[in-house]
Structure 1
Amino acid sequence: MPALYSYRIFISHAWKYGDEYSRLVRLLDNAPYFSCYNYSAPKEKPLALSRESATTREIAEAISDKIKRAQVVLVLGGMYGIYHSWMQFEVDEARRLGKPIIAIMPWGQINMPAYLREKADRVVGWNTSSIVSAIRELV
């Protein structure tokens, strides 16, 4: 059997909500007939910066480098409203780089920040088939 194509993804998220991020990663890891490489920067594997007290510009460049490698950017909609400054940067950078954006509706919710809804190429619910289908369609 041939190997599965491995989609290159970047997940925009906030460390404070690592559980939601981890649930999404598990969901994608367990999706049948789907493979992906995650370019995100979770708390346990942060951005590679030259020093601990990096400037805002250095952090932005490191995030941009990760987004450049990805084919698609996933944004957890529930975190966006609270931690919008860096997440907005990631959305804007994905748009600037021509990367499709998939906004994922928080589990059990019907609201999505207007800014994110406008910038997203697709808004999907919190379920495996919707997210994987959107990735396949947009990449």
Structure 2
Amino acid sequence: MSSKTYNLFISHSWTYSDSYNRLIKLLDNSGIPYKNYSVPKDDPIHNADNDDELYEAIKNQIAPSSIVIILAGVYATYSKWINHEINIAKNEFSTKKPILAIEEWASEKTSKVVKDNADKVVKWQSSSIKAAIEELCGK
């Protein structure tokens, strides 16, 4: 097991928080040491006065992260914030943040936008997710 702690930003919609919560449980049970830089549901970041403030707040959350994880559900295709998070990960830092897309079990439709921008796409399986995080962040 790696002694490295991985700094994760997990992109998600609070409208679909059940998937996010299941992913957190999966990560907790995987044994991978990580710190979660995602935006909590009760975080004041949601009260930003405008989109520019929210963009900067999300950028600040992503900044210390080693990787951006995006649940590749079809809802992601229609979220402007997913697109902003992809842009932040790819263009806002001197070293781009790798993007890991996770497809849920039995998902018939997934986000082409997310998959096209991901450095790696894996299925909803702890061993695959753990291996992808280690690979993309460098063991």
TM (norm. structure 2) is 0.87
1:113 Cα deviation from its structure 2 partner:
2.0
Distance 2:37 2:4 in 1: 16
Q: Is the 8 A contact 2:77 2:112 kept in 1?
A: no
Q: Partner letter of residue 72 of structure 1?
A: I
| Counterpart for residue 133 of structure 1 | 131
| Counterpart for residue 20 of structure 2 | 21
Distance 2:101 2:122 in 1: 6
* 1:117 equivalenced with 2:115 (yes/no): yes
Runs of 4 or more off by more than 6 Å in structure 1? none
Q: Partner letter of residue 68 of structure 1?
A: A
Q: Alignment identity in percent?
A: 37
Distance 1:42 1:107 in 2: 24
User: Map of 1:1-139 to 2, 5 A cutoff?
Assistant: 4-32=3-31, 34-44=32-42, 46-48=43-45, 52=47, 54-78=49-73, 79-82=75-78, 84-96=79-91, 97=93, 98-139=96-137
Aligned residues: CA RMSD: 1.9
Q: Partner letter of residue 12 of structure 2?
A: H
- Which shifted more, 104-113 or 68-77? 104-113
Matched length? 133
Q: Is the 8 A contact 1:71 1:100 kept in 2?
A: yes
SS at match of 1:20: helix
Q: Which runs of 5+ in 2 are unaligned?
A: none
Q: Which runs of 5+ in 1 are unaligned?
A: none
Q: Is the 8 A contact 2:67 2:98 kept in 1?
A: yes
